[in-house]
A and B are shown apart, each in its own frame.
Chain A
Amino acid sequence: MSPKTDTKKSTKNTGGLFSAGEKAAIKARAQELKAEARASKDRAEGERAVLAAIAKMPAPYRAMGERIHKIITASAPSLMPKTWYGLPAYANDNKIVCYMRMNPKPPYNDRYMNFGFNEAAKLDEGNIWSTTFALVKLTPAEETIIATLVKKAMG
């Protein structure tokens, strides 16, 4: 039963007499639906932007970026893909948790894929822990490490 049909039926049958509690619930649900639609649109747009940014990476890092994208979205489905300074990035509550960068041009001069975590990542471990990683090749071993890091980052 959707609130919409509910609303129509109820207004007809009851002469528009919702209780204050019913009205509040209907309003809340309408807001939820709008937010869900917006989030879904944001996700689709973010995903498109992220994949476009990955497509700009040189081979073989383009394929690596695509694979990392899949690992991240599978490990933490609630992370929202979006670009950050033009980089493929993934946010939680609008805060960037992790990102990728492979730009061989100055000033970056990257010779490997950078996979980095920002402050929102909960990787804390004692007095020192790794926050960015250099990647030259992805095998199942590195894929497992990345998946574990992303899951840990989400707490």
Chain B
Amino acid sequence: MSPKKDAQKSSGFTAEEKAAMKERAKEMKAEARASRNREEGEKAILGAINAMKEPDRSMGKRIHEIVTAAAPDLMPKTWYGMPAYADKDGKVICFFQAAGKFNVRYATFGFQPDAKLDDGNMWAASFALIKLTAAEEKKIAALVKKAVG
């Protein structure tokens, strides 16, 4: 029984029904907004990646695929112009810094404090990347999965 059908039958909704409908409307708005934000974020990230020079561009594209596959709930967005991935609170969990961003000899894949990589007293929080092979891809995917743990 949907609240709508119920409404047509009777003259009014109960307070509970009204509250439930209001909640659902809010949810749908938030979902639409989130989906729009995701699309916008994705577009911004792909724009940032396309603006990179090779080999940053190919690496950035691949990293984007790896992160979105490993943690589909993370929201893509740019952060200081870099491709980044945030949790539901909008906090950046990880990011890709192209080698060309600050003209260094390696790209960096970094994690922020909200990443759950904790491991004893000391753990690595960012990584220099020269080249992506299956081994590095696997490592990055495992790190991202752990980070959203």
- The verdict on A132 contacting B125 (CB below 8 Å), with A112-B113, A127-B135, A127-B136 known, is yes
Complex contact A110–B122 (CB within 8 A)? no
Interface range on chain A: under 10, 10 to 19, 20 to 34, or 35 or more? 20 to 34
> Is residue A116 contacting chain B, with contact meaning CB distance below 8 A?
yes
Chain B residues with CB under 8 Å of A137's CB are 121
Chain B residues with CB under 8 Å of A145's CB are 122
Partner of B121, one of A110, A116, A138: A138
- The verdict on A141 contacting B130 (CB below 8 Å), with A112-B113, A119-B105 known, is no
Alpha-carbon distance between A130 and B140 when the two chains are bound, in angstroms: 12
Chain B: CB-nearest residue to A112: B113
Complex contact B128–A128 (CB within 8 A)? yes
Total contacts A-B at CB 8 Å? 66
Complex contact A131–B113 (CB within 8 A)? no
Alpha-carbon distance between A133 and B133 when the two chains are bound, in angstroms: 23
Complex contact B126–A136 (CB within 8 A)? no
Instruction: State the Cβ distance, B148 to closest chain A Cβ, in Å.
Output: 16
Which of B105, B110, B122, B135 has the most CB atoms of chain A within a 10 A radius of its CB?
B122
Alpha-carbon distance between A76 and B93 when the two chains are bound, in angstroms: 33
Partner of B133, one of A123, A127, A130: A127
Within 8 A of B (CB), among A92-118: 108-112, 114, 116, 118
Known: A108-B113, A110-B113, A136-B122. 8 other contacts (CB 8 A): A112-B113, A124-B130, A130-B124, A132-B124, A132-B126, A133-B125, A138-B121, A141-B121
7 A-B pairs closest in CB distance: A130-B124, A119-B104, A132-B126, A137-B121, A127-B131, A134-B125, A131-B128
